[in-house]
Amino acid sequence: LRCRVVTLYFDVYRYRDLFLNLFRRELRVKYKGSVLGLAWTLVLPLVLVGVYTLVFSTLLRTTSVDHFPLFVVSGLLTWVFFQTSLQSSCASLLGQASLVKQVRFPRQLLPLSVVATNVVTFAVMLAIVLPINLALIPETRETFWAVFPLALVLLAFVGGLSLVVACANVLYRDIEHLVATILLPW
């Protein structure tokens, strides 16, 4: 089993040119025809932060967390990456069925390229949130470096889970809807 997992991710390196082409195509398709482009990835978390801040700290006054909007956006950063990666990768194999049937290549590159596309948005959001966090909460300057190894663990977890849901969705088409239904209230 361990050998298969290592081979699974080693194929990304071995077929890196193909992976980069899939990644570029996925990124291009994601923002094709969009005026704001990558900025759209910031809109959802900012709207959610506004709603959560309005509801919990302004209307209900149920939170005593300092810098509540920063607290919320830090959590949403991880959640949005997790959610969009899983939902997008569900349909990645089915969406490229013609390519999968015509050409022999490691199929795991398709869901992993979707995750890699979402890593770009995660990195952009992190590059914005981290300096704000360091400026507003100076105590975090001692521990902010922990974000990077934890992000690698998150990336590996999301990559593996994305492979599972993409493969399961090929066998059972309800998986895509099930994943969306589970992630919505979660």
pLDDT of residue 100: 67
Q: How confident is the model at residue 149 (pLDDT cuts 50, 70, 90)?
A: very high
Query: SS3 for 104?
Result: coil
Instruction: Please state, in angstroms and rounded to a whole number, the distance separating the CA atoms of residues 56 and 53.
Output: 5
pTM of the entire predicted model: 0.83
Task: List, for residues 159-185, the tens digit of each pLDDT value.
Answer: 999 999 999 998 998 888 899 889 888
Task: List, for residues 46-55, the tens digit of each pLDDT value.
Answer: 888 888 888 8
Cβ atoms of 22 and 109 closer than 8 Å:
yes
